[in-house]
Amino acid sequence: MTLRHLQIFRILCENNYSTTKTAQNLHMTQPAVSLAIKELEEQYDVRLFDRINRRLVITPAGVRLQEYCSSIETLFKDMETEMKNWDKQGVIRIGGTFTIGAMFLPEYAKTFMEAYPGTTIKGVCAPTYMLEKMILDNELDVGFCEGIIKNPLIKTEAYMDDHLIVFASVDSGYSYGQIISVEEFQQNRVVLREQDSGVRRVFDMACEQLGFKVEPEWESVSNTAIIAAVAKGLGVGVIPFRLVEDTIREGKVVPIMVEGLNLDRKFYIVHHKDKKVSGLLKEFIQFCKDIQF
């Protein structure tokens, strides 16, 4: 049984069970129409029509098949439309580190789905090492992270500049934008992100370049928790500027600078190097590169 059999059966029903009219509509011979109906009946071992006075009279089984035909053909047309337009609508699976997830992913998804109404974007926030695994396991189409993934199977492309900031409580004695020496900085308790996070790697590398290392007093996977801890005077903190600028504006913490400490970094778009990048995914990646915050 094929869709062609069902199409012949449906048109036969629409033509008041006339094989002659059906053959004319489908540019077939009358015997070919009759053969298709016979093959359907043999396939399911059921009579679809009674032959009475040389005319076809549909049976209850034929009525039920007619109902199925309508549903099946509609579903098939929907499938054809969706698959042919997959590059214009579909599902994109994205992942981002906690920082990028908090700052950008919701806006990426919302704005892109407004521009492409047939698109669904599924997102996840996770540490970089988990995003790497999900990309390798084909659980994500594209990821956004703060550090370069060195796995040769993953393509990494810088797409946005960013920088971290050192900040302190308003009661710390530091003034807004004050520049302090490395030696003075080392005398402070420090609140940092967890080991292997993108923020922590950038900070540790910047300290290493100046010849020192920091052992944090507090560690957290949550940027919000770090801001709260610093605001309470538990130490100076280091997180992305974009995440703390509202708190600075509210006067709860103040930014400070450490001489020679370079906390500039980049954000990266990553995907499996062997993954076929569909037209829709390509549009999404370019959109993320172009959007400005």
CATH number of the CATH domain containing 75: 1.10.10.10
Query: Is the same domain home to 152 and 272?
Result: yes
Query: Is the same domain home to 58 and 30?
Result: yes
CB 265 within 8 A of CB 238: no
Question: What's the rounded Cα separation, in Å, for the pair 232 and 209?
Answer: 30
**Which whole-number Å values give the CA distances from 48 to 11, 33, 41, in the listed order?**
14, 14, 6
Query: Is the same domain home to 63 and 16?
Result: yes
Identify the helix (H) or strand (E) that includes residue 13: helix 3-14
Query: Is the same domain home to 171 and 249?
Result: yes
pLDDT tens string 214-253:
999 999 988 999 999 999 999 999 999 989 999 999 999 9
pLDDT tens string 121-153:
999 999 888 999 999 988 999 999 987 788 889
Report which residue type is found at 234.
Answer: L
Q: Which among 84, 100, 128 is the end of a domain?
A: 84
Query: Is the same domain home to 8 and 77?
Result: yes
Backbone angles phi, psi at 178, to 5 degrees: -65, 140
Predicted model pTM: 0.62
CB 235 within 8 A of CB 217: yes
The total domain count for the chain is 3
Question: What's the rounded Cα separation, in Å, for the pair 249 and 276?
Answer: 44
Backbone angles phi, psi at 258, to 5 degrees: -110, 125
Query: Is the same domain home to 123 and 255?
Result: no
Q: Which among 54, 69, 84 is the end of a domain?
A: 84
Pick from 207, 240, 233, 204: which is nearest to 218 by CA?
233
CB 213 within 8 A of CB 291: no
Q: What percent of the chain is helix, strand and coil (3-state, nearest 5)? A: 45, 25, 30
Whether the pLDDT of residue 292 is over 70: the answer is no
Query: Is the same domain home to 142 and 127?
Result: yes
Query: Is the same domain home to 119 and 40?
Result: no
Q: Which among 84, 103, 124 is the end of a domain?
A: 84
Query: Is the same domain home to 74 and 32?
Result: yes
CATH number of the CATH domain containing 168: 3.40.190.290
**What number of other Cβ atoms are within 10 A of residue 21's Cβ?**
16
List the single range of 30-34, 51-55, 222-226 with lowest mean pLDDT.
51-55
**What number of other Cβ atoms are within 10 A of residue 68's Cβ?**
12
**What number of other Cβ atoms are within 10 A of residue 101's Cβ?**
17
Residue-range definition of the domain harbouring residue 29: 3-84
Instruction: Classify residue 17 as left (phi > 0), alpha (psi -120 to 50) or beta.
Output: left
- Token couple for 83: 């698959």
Query: Is the same domain home to 172 and 103?
Result: no
Query: Is the same domain home to 257 and 168?
Result: yes
Query: Is the same domain home to 10 and 36?
Result: yes
Identify the helix (H) or strand (E) that includes residue 103: helix 98-103
Residue 86 carries which DSSP code?
A: T
Question: What band does 204 get if pLDDT is binned at 50, 70 and 90?
Answer: very high
